[in-house]
Amino acid sequence: MEKYERIGRELVHKGAIIDYYQDTIKIPNGNIAKWDYIRHKGAAAVVAVKDDGKLLMVRQYRNALDRETLEIPAGGLNDVNEPTDLAAARELEEETGYKAGKLELLLSLRTTVAFCDEKIDVYVATDLKRSEQHLDEDEFLDVVSFDAEELVKMIYDCKIQDGKTVSAILAYCNKYCNRVN
């Protein structure tokens, strides 16, 4: 593979969730290119499995799409060094009002490798116990549950499009359901 060399990085905007940079890259043919780069502190997500086998999901409004989405519970790390299992447990309780008796790492994914370094660790939560929901001041969501097969059908019907949710449900079904329709 040819060599790429970053020769500069300029912070364009520091945001609440992301930092946006413009990188100057020397590409293999010797030319100089300007590439966008987004730094993200990371996130954790949870496939929460109730005792009846149904998966907890959250329905919430997403500004970027200007519509509601159906997603697995998830949220950003408080800082880049926060252990993702702690963040997953926190987000599960905050968003759904359930605590996990057991958390197991299912997969790690990178959401948009062309311009962003966001990494999400996805856990499977079992042995759920009822607790209290602790939503952020600007967070309004509904907690619903579905059979895994229903969710897979929604993925293939293009009703669930969130990347972390699609990846997590299909990985969960592949590992634990032994069938991905």
Q: Which residue, 157, 137, 140, 141, is CA-closest to 149?
A: 157
CATH of domain 42-177: 3.90.79.10
Sign of the torsion formed by the C-alpha atoms of 135, 141, 119 and 114 = negative
pLDDT, tens only, 130-179: 999 988 888 889 999 999 999 999 999 999 999 999 999 999 999 999 65
What percent of the chain is modeled with pLDDT above 70?
A: 97
Largest CA distance in the chain: 59
Active-site residue, from 137, 139, 149, 150: 137
pLDDT, tens only, 38-78: 999 999 999 999 999 999 999 999 999 999 999 999 999 99
CB-based burial label for 103 (10 Å; 0-12, 13-18, 19+): buried
Structure tokens at 64: 């970027």
Single pTM value for the model: 0.93
Locus of tokens 């790390």 = 77
Using the predicted structure, report yes or no on whether residue 180 has a pLDDT greater than 80.
no
Structure tokens at 170: 């299909």
> Which pLDDT score, from 0 to 100, does residue 89 have?
98
The string of DSSP codes covering 24-60 is: EEE-TTS-EEEEEEEEE--EEEEEEE-TTSPEEEEEE
- Residue 115 phi, psi dihedral angles, 5° rounding: -150, 5
Q: Is 137 a catalytic residue?
A: yes
